[in-house]
Amino acid sequence: MSHGPARPPQVFDRAFLTGVEDVTRLILVRHGEQQPREPGASEATDRPLSEQGRRQARLVGERFSTEHVDVVYSSPLSRALDTAVEIARHHRMQPQVVQDLREIEVFRDLPADRPASDVLSPALLAGLTERMVRERRWDIYPFSEPSFDFRKRVVNAIEAILAESESKSVVVACHGGVINAYVAHIIGVDYDMFFRPAHTSVNVVYSGQGIRALQSLNDVSHLLTPEGSLVSH
């Protein structure tokens, strides 16, 4: 039985890229839980996945095992790359590493072998923490990558990926700060951290016709197992 021709896209279809052709699905996945930073270690230490983080990465990989994925990109940091590998292996591919997808570099201008607690006073560190709670801007931290520079490198990196991925399904394994930077850019939010992505949470943006449209944030359904929740932040 014929139901007649499909209706043309309406105003909100066009605005949010639903029911239109030639749309790229950009899937931003935060890495799994990392191991705790050891006492005295620098903030820049590349910490690998914890045991729970490896379980989370396996589960998000299984989630995408039955979905169409054209390409997987990753931050160079091990916690993101190992998460990306768990997604990519189901599709018989290797993640493509993009250096500019790395996390915000807090305290990057301190000596590489010294934690901030060796250089800054306890009172200053406590004050910085309270400012971050209220202001949620990376610029409060001294000796760090500026907020503007961080957002610029993240947005440029993801826009370059989109330029190479027309009408594809693209997974990017990265970091909470990276996800916030890109999504904040497309929806016009000034906070550097306006929401808290859970480990291996799935965040989806549609791209096409010059539009970037947010579809969903912080989907952790794959972490709700019969044995219990594996959600962590």
Global pTM?
0.94
Q: How far apart are CA 83 and CA 132, in angstroms?
A: 28
Q: Which pair of structure tokens corresponds to residue 201?
A: 């949470």
User: Which residue type occupies 233?
Assistant: H
The DSSP bridge partners found for residue 216 are 204
Distance CA 101, CA 203 (A): 15
pLDDT, tens digit (0-9, with 9 covering 90-100), for 171-223: 999 999 999 999 999 999 999 999 999 999 999 999 999 999 999 999 999 99
Q: Where are the alpha helices (H) located in the chain, listed in sequence order?
A: 11-16, 51-64, 78-88, 122-135, 147-163, 176-187
What are the residue ranges spanned by the domains of the chain?
21-34+43-105+145-229
Superfamily for domain range 21-34+43-105+145-229: Phosphoglycerate mutase-like (3.40.50.1240)
CA distance 155 to 86: 25
pLDDT, tens digit, 9 for 90 and up, residues 128-178: 999 999 999 999 999 999 999 999 999 999 999 999 999 999 999 999 999
**Cα(211)–Cα(20) distance, rounded to whole angstroms?**
12
pLDDT tens sequence across 39-60: 777 777 899 999 999 999 999 9
Contact of 106 with 145, CB cutoff 8 Å: yes
Give dist(CA 78, CA 82) in Å, integer: 6
Distance CA 216, CA 228 (A): 23
Residue carrying structure tokens 């991925």: 165
Nearest to 106 by CA among 36, 191, 40, 44: 44
Number of continuous H segments (helices) and E segments (strands) in the chain: 6, 8
What pLDDT sits at residue 139? 98
